[in-house]
Structures are given as C-alpha cells and as structure tokens.
Amino acid sequence: AGPCDIYASGNTPCIAAHSTTRALYNAYTGALYQVKRGSDGTTTDISPLSAGGVANAAAQDKFCSNTTCLITIIYDQSGRGNHLKQAPPGGFKGPEANGYDNLASAIGAPVTLNGKKAYGVFMSPGTGYSNNAASGTATGDEAEGMYAVLDGTHYNGACCFDYGNAEISSTDTGNGHMEAIYYGDNTAWGSGAGSGPWIMADLENGLFSGSSPANNPGDPSISHRFVNAVVKGGPNKWAIRGGNAASGSLSTYYSGARPSVSGYNPMSKEGAIILGIGGDNSNGAQGTFYEGVMTSGYPTDATENSVQANIVAAKYATAPLTSGTALTVGSSISLRATTSGYTTRYIAHTGATINTQVVSSSSTTALKKQASWTVRAGLANRDCFSFESVDTPGSFIRHADFALVLAANDGTKLLHEDATFCPQTGLNGETSSIRSWSYPTRYFRHYENVLYIASNGGVHTFDSATSFNSDVSWVISNGFA
Ligand code: AHR
Ligand code: AHR
C-alpha cells in the first residue's frame, strides 16, 4: 500500500498527494510531475517506473541532457486535480516575470528510494508553488491532516517554508486563515527547544510550536537528513508530530487545544495549497520537499504511524550531487572559458570582483595566482565543493545578489551556502558546469567577462539564454599556481 491507501483505510482520505519521487497510491501510474527544458521550452511528464513505484528519473535525465530543466507542475495523485504550479504574486511579489515566484531546478535534490534514483524539489529563496483553486481541502474549522518529507539540512529563518492549507488570494486575510506545515529556524513568532530547525504550524500571522504563540520547549529541534513533518487540525484541537523519515517512529511534539490568542478558534481555513512560501507569498525561505499529502478528516496517530512506516520502507537515501571532471580536495585548479572568442580567458579575481582574464604560462606570477583556486570540501555540503583563492587564503568564491565575489569566510551559514558549488558534466556536453548548491537553477557564467550565477533565460541581463550553454561550461585543469 502507499501512504494514501493507508489514509483511506483510516477514513481520512488524501485530497491532495504530491511527490516527485514516487507514487503515493499503490495503484497510481499517472504523471508525478512535469519538467520544462531550457533548450526549446518544451515540457514532459515524469511518471512512476511501475504502479505505485519510484519516479522514472532516467526519463528526466534523457529529456534534460545538455540543457537545464525546471519543475513546472507537481501533479496531484488524488484524482482531484489539486496540482501545484508556479505561485502567483500576492501580498509579496516573487522574483520572476510579473511577480511570479521562481520554479525549482529539476536536479537540485537527487536521492535514491530503495536504491532507485529520483529527484526532490530543492527550493531556493524566491521559489514557490501553489494552487489557489483546490477542491476538497478543509475550509473554515473543518478537520484535516498532512505530512511532508523534507531535507532537514536545508532550511533558513526567513518566512516561510510551508506545505499545506492557505489563503486563496495569496494575501494575509487574518489569523486562522492558514493551516500548513512550517519547517525552518524562523523565530519571529513561535520557536521550540534549542536553536532549530523546528516543525511548526503556520496558522497565519504566527508560526506555532504549541499552545503559546511564543516558545514551546516541547517542540524539539529536528534535523535528520530526511524529516517527516506532520501537522493536523480540527475543531479546537491540533497536533505537531515528527520523526526521522529514514528510520524509527513518529513522536508527538504537541497535541491539544488551539492557541490561546484570538482568531485561531474556530479556524477560518480557506483551502488553497502552498509549497515553499507563506500564505501571503512571503518567499524568502528555502527547503526541500520530496513528498506530502493533505487529507480530509483528522487522521489518527495510528494511521500516521503506519504512513511513517511506509515512508521508512521507501528507504530514502542521499545520491551524488556532482558529475563530470572529478575534483580533488586540496588541489589547485584553473577554469578556462569555452565560449568561442573567449577561450584564452580563465576565472580570476580583481580585488573582490570575480571575472575572466587572459592568462597563459607567460603571465605574471601575481595573475597566475589570481586565476588559481584551491578545491575545498563544500562549506555547506561536503558532497559539493568550495573554491578558496590561492593568493588570498581564507577567502572563497561566493555569490551575493547573484554576482560572484571573493569574500572572507566569516563562518556564517549564509556564506557557507553561498560559497558551495556542485560541478556537473558541462551543459555543452563536455567539460564542467559549476552549479550553485543553494540556487541549483544557477551556474557560474561569464557575462561581459564578469562572473555571475546565472539561470537559463531568467530575469537578469546576465541570465540571457544566448550562448548560455557555452558561457556556463568550463575546462578545469591543474592550477596555474
Ligand atoms: O504566519 C506566518 C506568516 O505571516 C504567513 O505565512 C504569512 O502569510 C504572514 O506573513
Ligand atoms: O546571490 C543571491 C543571494 O544574495 C545570496 O544568497 C545572499 O547572500 C544575497 O542576498
């Protein structure tokens, strides 16, 4: 059985079932998600390998080879058509054209399930999905349940990495107009024990970790690589549960009455569905989603415990984030441009600016050092890499406002994430492309000889689709110095 078969037998059926990694019903053979490729703008649907099975990641890899792909639709497997698509502007605008949010890269979150490759939805700040016309979702004070399998190492403190029930207008219409799972270390409203991240409930104008709108020490920090986050709510009762999605059982972190502050009892749920954003399209948060559902009715703990066992049996595990030219930690490398007319230029720095410069064996020692980078284990994720300046030890290539700059390692989580990059086989078919870990739609790209992290056809000038593949492909060799 799949998670939604278990919820159905508990008389709390799924009314929305979303996953890019696997079918959530034993009999489901339909599309899991849609991807769109950058080369020609065409789309394709990715389905399970077999009924109830893992996604056909090989079909995605084939469709997306030598180009970029975005996840455009996460289909609802419940049959209600509650698909998730690019979120529109609401109280806040997204970074994409017309105020829409960004779409996620199709390759930011590779995993295996029972040894079979699949991709989750790695959502950078600015990314969001929603359905403002969902059917069968709880409205008013009606009961519902939900779970989401997330990456417990990918989060931040911005508002709000959510999955669940929200406003149909993408605006803040008041307390109690949402009921969604929140995951991250935001402390603007509630918080739990330790320094986070926490599973909380976003009930609008507040992230709740228990009955108090502030700190509730019963809600622990939880950061397993794969987290199962559970929230449910009904008339004057709600609960937060959680656990390791790769082993063991669920714990209950809160179960009791609605918050003591006004506006949350009764609830005024509106029934839209959001992923990766707040109810008003606040879109500064980040996180990774693998699968999740929403139910009609308040699931029993026993039903949720069976779903947890099902998720554990799916055996989520990590998969490589890199491909192409292998890099050796501690070695010095230089990176040469491959765009016709620029092939004598290497990635270098002039002060804080990262640029390309013409470098050769007869260049000065100073320039050779400026064009040489020591490979380090990724500061935010050791499955990827960071690049330390040979002539300025302690300083790394990072992105800031999507430009690459040289910056001292200040020890912050943001710098570590901004300075972590995942090389892959070059988009031009050979060589290497250097993907940002934290913005996997974006790659090292030279534009007017200055380096950015660029997406293929995004809103910035440097995102131009013209010569994108060659501008993001580099020949990596031993460092000049
Ligand atoms: O409840 C926290 C956040 O507050 C909601 O997600 C958002 O709509 C509002 O800004
Ligand atoms: O480069 C994009 C973002 O811009 C970085 O993550 C952040 O440091 C800056 O605000």
> What confidence tens digit (pLDDT) does each residue in 427-438 have?
998 899 999 999
- Using an 8 Å Cβ cutoff, are 57 and 446 in contact? no
What's the Cα-to-Cα distance from 165 to each of 204, 236, 240, 286, 441, rounded to whole Å?
10, 17, 15, 18, 27
Q: pLDDT value at position 228? A: 99
CA 422 – ligand 2 centroid, Å: 17
Select from 109, 44, 104, 85 the least CA-distant residue to 441: 104
- 167 part of the active site: no
Q: pLDDT value at position 405? A: 98
- Stated as kind and residue range, the H or E segment containing 313 is helix 301-313
Select from 101, 142, 363 the least CA-distant residue to 232: 142
What's the Cα-to-Cα distance from 456 to each of 8, 225, 339, 429, rounded to whole Å?
42, 29, 15, 16
Select from 221, 198, 195 the least CA-distant residue to 208: 198
Of ligand 1's listed atoms, the one at least distance from the Cα of 160 is 6
CA 19 – ligand 1 centroid, Å: 24
Dihedrals phi, psi of 216, to nearest 5 degrees: -130, 105
Q: pLDDT value at position 260? A: 87
Residue 126 half-sphere exposure toward CB, CA atoms < 13 A: 18
User: Which residues lie with the beta carbon below 6 Å from any ligand 2 atom?
Assistant: 399-402, 414, 418, 438
Q: Considering every ligand atom, which ligand is closest to the CA of 178?
A: 1
Low-confidence ranges of the chain (pLDDT < 70): none
Q: pLDDT value at position 86? A: 98
Contacts of 26 (CB under 8 A, 6+ apart): 1, 2, 5, 51, 52
Instruction: Report the residue among 101, 170, 172 best suited for mutation to probe ligand 1: largest number of ligand atoms under 8 A from its CB.
Output: 172
Select from 12, 69, 60 the least CA-distant residue to 40: 69
Q: What is the CA radius of gyration of the chain?
A: 23
CA 224 – ligand 1 centroid, Å: 25
Q: Which of 179, 204, 219, 418 is catalytic?
A: 204
185 Cβ inside 6 Å of ligand 1: no
CA 159 – ligand 1 centroid, Å: 7
- 204 part of the active site: yes
CA 434 – ligand 2 centroid, Å: 17
Q: pLDDT value at position 34? A: 99
Q: Considering every ligand atom, which ligand is closest to the CA of 452?
A: 2
Per-residue tokens: 302 = 């026993």
Instruction: Report the residue among 204, 231, 277 best suited for mutation to probe ligand 1: largest number of ligand atoms under 8 A from its CB.
Output: 204
202 Cβ inside 6 Å of ligand 1: yes
Instruction: Report the residue among 179, 182, 280, 281 best suited for mutation to probe ligand 1: largest number of ligand atoms under 8 A from its CB.
Output: 280
Q: Which of 101, 151, 167, 280 is catalytic?
A: 280
Q: pLDDT value at position 430? A: 80
Percentage of the chain modeled with pLDDT above 90: 99
Q: Write out pLDDT tens, residues 409-453.
A: 999 999 999 999 999 999 998 899 999 999 999 999 999 999 999
Q: How crowded is residue 425: how many other Cβ atoms within 10 Å of its Cβ?
A: 17
- Using an 8 Å Cβ cutoff, are 180 and 164 in contact? yes
